[in-house]
Amino acid sequence: MRNREYPIQLFCREPFRIFFPIGLLLAIGGVALWPLYYAGLFNLYPATTHARLMIEGFMGSFIFGFLGTAGPRLTSSPHLSLREIAGIFTLDLLAAGFHISGAHRIGDICFVVCLLFFARTIGIRFQQRKDCPPPNFVLVALGLASGIAGTALLAYFETAQYSPLYQLGSALLHQGFILLPILGVGPFFLNRLLDLPQPERPESRAFPPGWFRQAVLPAIVGLAILGTFFLETLGQPDAGRWIRAATIVFYLAARMPFHGRTFLADCLRGAILSIAIGFIVVALFPIYRTAALHIVFITGFNLMVFTVAIRVVFGHSGAAHLFQKRLPFFIATILLLFLAMLSRISADLAPSMRTPHLAAAAICWLAAALIWIIRVIPKVIVVEAEEE
């Protein structure tokens, strides 16, 4: 029986119930800045604030919620404490608040402290583990390191935004911080969505035979992708872009399961395909780099987050039977995200119509988010054991 009355300890066991809603609110704020700015209701040009709210606020919150929930379960370690949840939550909101006010350096400092605190929290669980995480999760650790290094560089070089190290920090935060965990979680999550058999092994703190061998490829891929950002900083942008795109395609071909179909699995595959396509387009047309990256951000990262969050929220609220069904509300969400992506690209391709295209992109995204919120977020207050 579903229960809507639950103790505060539930938020510690399943922190997605806090971080998913706050991430959506921060994303709505980040996207709404564009129509508010063009309507004269927000005085600061929102480019930097928008980017920080979408990456640190939106994506960061979903990473905290997902890893804070799944990490202790995968490693059979204690769930997060109330103090840890409160610390991460407060620092996340403080960072967003400073970015909205235009104090980006302070906002980035708050977020790098938040990431360090979160990494310490996850590190403690790893030390306390009774079981080992999947080998692909090496990429998750590299993603957190990328976010920490990138945010620190942005904070330090805030007054020199055209310097190579500031640009390196921007790439590490806005791309590496999200891309690497997605590559790490994607194959694992797709197997879950397809109900593919998992290798049986006894729960053990020690790494099982073959774990390190399986972790070599994701480790090399993660380091190679991080290396491409340094290549761009060192004056080899074309090489960096092509190596990054080729590395992503190679890894996905090697690790993603291509057999089996369910609605959510197809949505996840579509998101991952968009990420690969986006980075290929960046390599092909570097002059339209910002526009092409929105293929990665909107129909890649964003769609991936929405898909994974549906699996997490529905699974923890007794709606696991919906995993195998087509979800009309999510089809509408995907179509609106696709329109938002096209409008955002058009804003750079047709500079004379930039303002209406940016407004259209924002409106489509907000409509997609509203549909998703109405159908998914209410379930975060529904408590029922997940059926695995």
For residue 200, name the pLDDT band (cuts at 50, 70, 90).
low
3-state secondary structure of 365: helix
Res. 319 pLDDT band, cuts 50 70 90: confident
Residue 5 has pLDDT above 50, yes or no: no
Residue 334 pLDDT > 70, yes or no?
yes
pLDDT in tens, 21-46: 999 999 999 999 999 999 888 888 99
Q: Which pLDDT band, with edges at 50, 70 and 90, does 167 fall under?
A: very high
Q: What is the DSSP string of 44-63?
A: S--HHHHHHIIIIIIIHHHH
Residue-wise burial string across 18-45, b where 16 or more C-beta atoms lie within 10 A, e elsewhere: bbbbbbbbbbbbbbbbbbebeeeebeee
- Residue 3, strand partner residues: 383
Across the range 289-306, mean pLDDT stands at: 97
With a CB cutoff of 8 Å and minimum separation 6, the contacts of 161 are none
Range with the lowest mean pLDDT among 153-157, 290-294, 320-324? 320-324
103-152 pLDDT, tens per residue?
A: 999 999 999 999 999 999 999 999 999 988 999 999 999 999 999 999 99
Q: How far is CA 305 from the centre of its chain?
A: 6
CA pair distance 30, 369, nearest whole angstrom: 12
pLDDT in the model for residue 7: 59
Confidence of residue 317 (pLDDT cuts 50, 70, 90): confident
Whether residue 179 is predicted with pLDDT greater than 80 in this model: the reply is: yes
The average pLDDT across 290-311 equals 96
**CA-CA distance, 115 to 335, in Å (whole number)?**
33
Measured distance CA(16)–CA(316) in Å, rounded: 10
Average pLDDT taken over every residue of the chain: 91
Q: Phi and psi at residue 383, in whole multiples of 5°?
A: -110, 120
Note the pTM of the prediction, 2 decimals: 0.93
- Overall average pLDDT of the 343-353 stretch: 94
For residue 383, list its beta bridge partners: 3
Query: In the structure encoding, which two tokens stand for residue 154, read together?
Result: 């942005």
Q: List alpha helices for 135-210, DSSP H.
A: 138-156, 164-171, 177-193
**Distance between first and last Cα of the chain:** 17
Helix (H, G, I), strand (E, B) or coil at 210: coil
Neighbours of 189 (CB within 10 A): 22
Examine the pLDDT at 8 and tell me if it is beyond 80.
no
Q: How confident is the model at residue 202 (pLDDT cuts 50, 70, 90)?
A: low
Name which of 54-58, 113-117, 209-213, 257-261 the model is least confident about: 257-261
**In terms of C-beta density within 10 A (0-12 exposed, 13-18 middle, 19 or more buried), how is residue 178 classed?**
buried
pLDDT at 2 over 80: no
Amino acid letter at 263? Answer: F
Quick one: pLDDT band at residue 259, thresholds 50, 70, 90? confident
pLDDT 10s digits, 48-58: 999 999 999 99
- CB atoms under 10 Å from CB of 214, counted, come to 14
The predicted model gives 278-291 an average pLDDT of: 96
Closest to 203 in 3D by CA, of 132, 123, 136 = 132
Instruction: For residues 299-323, give the mean pLDDT.
Output: 90
Give the CA count within 13 Å in the CB-facing half-sphere of 201. 16
pLDDT at 196 exceeding the cut of 80: no
Other CB atoms within a 10 A radius of the CB of residue 312 amount to 23
Residues with Cβ within 8 Å of residue 119, at least 6 apart in sequence: 144, 148
pLDDT value of position 304 = 95
